[in-house]
Structure 1
Amino acid sequence: MASPYRTLLAVPGARAFVAAGFVGRMSMSMVGIGIVLLVSAVTGSYGIAGTVSATMAVAYAAAAPLSARFADRYGQRRVLIPLVSANAVAFSLLISFALFEAPLWTLYPASALAGLTQVSLGAWVRSRWSHVLTGTSIPMGTAYSFESVMDELIFVAGPILVTSLATGVHPAAGLAVAASCTLAGGLAFARLRGTEPPPRPLTPGTSPRGGAFTNPALRIMTPIFLFVGLVFGAMDVAGVAFATEQGHKPLAGVLLGCYAGGSATSAFWYGARNWASSLDRRFLIGIVLQAVLLVPLPLIGNFWLMLPVAFVAGLAISPTIIPGFGLVERVVPSGQLTEGLALVSTSLSIGAAAGASLAGRIADAYGAMESFLVPLASSVLAALVALAGIRAISKRELSSQTIAE
Structure 2
Amino acid sequence: MPAPSSTPTSACPSYAAVLQVPYARRTFAAALIGRLSYGMVSPAVLLAVVRATGSYAAAGTVMAVFGALAVLLMPLRAALVDRHGPRRALLPMAMLYGGLLCVLAAVTWRPGTPVVVLGAVAALTGMCAPPLGPTMRSVWAELVGDRGLLQRAYSLDGVAEELLYVVGPLAVGAVLGFAPPAAGVLLSAALIVTGTFAFVMSPALSGLRVSAGAGRGLRLTRVRGLLGPVVVAGGMGLALSAVYLLVMAFVEQRGYGEDAVPWVLAAVSAGSAVGGLLNGAVNWRMGARVRLSGAALGLGLALASAGFATGVWSLTVAVGCAGFFVAPALTTAYLLADEVAAPEARTQAGAWVNMAVNAGSSGGAVVTGLLVGRVPLGVCFVVAGVVAGGAGVVSWLPARGGWSRSSSRP
Say whether the fold is shared (TM-score over 0.5): yes
Cα 1:328–1:42 change in 2 (3 A) is same
Cα 1:332–1:24 change in 2 (3 A) is same
Q: Secondary structure at the match of 2:181?
A: coil
Q: Indicate the residue corresponding to 2:85 in structure 1.
A: 75
Q: Check if 1:121 corresponds to 2:132.
A: yes
5 Å-filtered alignment, 1:84-95, equals 84-95=94-105
Q: Indicate the residue corresponding to 2:198 in structure 1.
A: 188
Structure 1 residues 98-130: Cα deviation after superposition (integer angstroms, max 9, x where no partner):
234222211112101111111221111111000
Aligned residue identity for 2:138: S
Q: Matches of 1:173 and 1:363 in 2, distance apart? A: 35
Q: Matches of 2:44 and 2:380 in 1, distance apart? A: 25
Q: Indicate the residue corresponding to 2:8 in structure 1.
A: none
State which of 264, 269, 280 in structure 1 corresponds to 2:273.
264
Asked whether the equivalents of residues 355 and 374 of structure 1 are also in contact (C-alpha less than 8 Å), the reply is no
Q: Secondary structure at the match of 2:14?
A: helix
Q: Indicate the residue corresponding to 1:15 in structure 2.
A: 25
Cα 1:239–1:151 change in 2 (3 A) is farther
Q: Indicate the residue corresponding to 2:209 in structure 1.
A: 199
State which of 68, 75, 78 in structure 2 corresponds to 1:65.
75
Q: Indicate the residue corresponding to 1:148 in structure 2.
A: 158
Aligned positions, number? 395
Cα deviation, residue 249, structure 1:
1.4
State which of 228, 240, 263 in structure 1 corresponds to 2:236.
228
Asked whether the equivalents of residues 362 and 370 of structure 1 are also in contact (C-alpha less than 8 Å), the reply is no
Q: Secondary structure at the match of 1:277?
A: coil
Cα 1:34–1:268 change in 2 (3 A) is same
State which of 213, 219, 223 in structure 1 corresponds to 2:227.
219
Q: Matches of 1:125 and 1:154 in 2, distance apart? A: 15
Q: Matches of 1:183 and 1:391 in 2, distance apart? A: 44
Asked whether the equivalents of residues 166 and 172 of structure 1 are also in contact (C-alpha less than 8 Å), the reply is no
Structure 1 residues 187-206: Cα deviation after superposition (integer angstroms, max 9, x where no partner):
211211334442323259xx
State which of 102, 120, 139 in structure 1 corresponds to 2:113.
102
Structure 1 residues 251-293: Cα deviation after superposition (integer angstroms, max 9, x where no partner):
3222111111111101111111111211111111111111111
Cα 1:178–1:215 change in 2 (3 A) is same
Asked whether the equivalents of residues 120 and 345 of structure 1 are also in contact (C-alpha less than 8 Å), the reply is no
Asked whether the equivalents of residues 56 and 111 of structure 1 are also in contact (C-alpha less than 8 Å), the reply is yes
Cα deviation, residue 3, structure 1:
5.4
Cα 1:92–1:210 change in 2 (3 A) is closer
Q: Matches of 2:245 and 2:48 in 1, distance apart? A: 20
Cα deviation, residue 171, structure 1:
2.4
Asked whether the equivalents of residues 266 and 318 of structure 1 are also in contact (C-alpha less than 8 Å), the reply is yes
Cα deviation, residue 162, structure 1:
2.5
Asked whether the equivalents of residues 143 and 204 of structure 2 are also in contact (C-alpha less than 8 Å), the reply is no
Cα deviation, residue 374, structure 1:
5.2
Aligned residue identity for 1:84: A
Q: Matches of 1:25 and 1:374 in 2, distance apart? A: 32
Q: Provide runs of 4+ in structure 1 moved above 6 Å.
A: none
Cα deviation, residue 32, structure 1:
2.2
* Matched-pair identity in %: 25
Q: Secondary structure at the match of 2:82?
A: helix
Q: Matches of 2:237 and 2:98 in 1, distance apart? A: 27
Which range moved further: 305-314 or 332-341?
305-314
Cα 1:44–1:270 change in 2 (3 A) is same
Q: Indicate the residue corresponding to 1:288 in structure 2.
A: 297
Q: Matches of 1:175 and 1:140 in 2, distance apart? A: 34
Aligned residue identity for 1:85: M
5 Å-filtered alignment, 1:4-403, equals 4-100=14-110, 101-134=112-145, 136=146, 139-166=149-176, 169-203=179-213, 211-212=220-221, 214-245=222-253, 246-363=255-372, 365-366=374-375, 371-373=380-382, 375-392=384-401, 394-398=403-407, 401=409
Asked whether the equivalents of residues 226 and 350 of structure 1 are also in contact (C-alpha less than 8 Å), the reply is yes
Segments of 5+ residues of structure 2 without an aligned counterpart are 1-11
Asked whether the equivalents of residues 304 and 383 of structure 2 are also in contact (C-alpha less than 8 Å), the reply is no
Q: Matches of 1:27 and 1:137 in 2, distance apart? A: 30
Q: Matches of 1:81 and 1:63 in 2, distance apart? A: 17
After TM superposition, the score normalised by the length of structure 1 is 0.89
Structure 1 residues 227-249: Cα deviation after superposition (integer angstroms, max 9, x where no partner):
21112222223233333444231
Cα 1:169–1:243 change in 2 (3 A) is farther
Cα 1:182–1:368 change in 2 (3 A) is farther
Cα deviation, residue 173, structure 1:
3.0
Structure 1 residues 50-85: Cα deviation after superposition (integer angstroms, max 9, x where no partner):
110111111112322112112112111111111111
The RMSD of aligned alpha carbons is 2.5
Aligned residue identity for 1:56: F
Asked whether the equivalents of residues 149 and 268 of structure 1 are also in contact (C-alpha less than 8 Å), the reply is yes
Q: Secondary structure at the match of 1:25?
A: helix
Q: Matches of 1:249 and 1:16 in 2, distance apart? A: 41
Cα deviation, residue 366, structure 1:
5.0
Asked whether the equivalents of residues 226 and 348 of structure 1 are also in contact (C-alpha less than 8 Å), the reply is yes
Cα deviation, residue 6, structure 1:
0.6
Segments of 5+ residues of structure 1 without an aligned counterpart are none
Asked whether the equivalents of residues 155 and 280 of structure 2 are also in contact (C-alpha less than 8 Å), the reply is yes
Asked whether the equivalents of residues 34 and 166 of structure 1 are also in contact (C-alpha less than 8 Å), the reply is no
Structure 1 residues 188-226: Cα deviation after superposition (integer angstroms, max 9, x where no partner):
11211334442323259xx9x9523x2231134323321
Cα 1:199–1:33 change in 2 (3 A) is same
Which range moved further: 337-346 or 150-159?
150-159
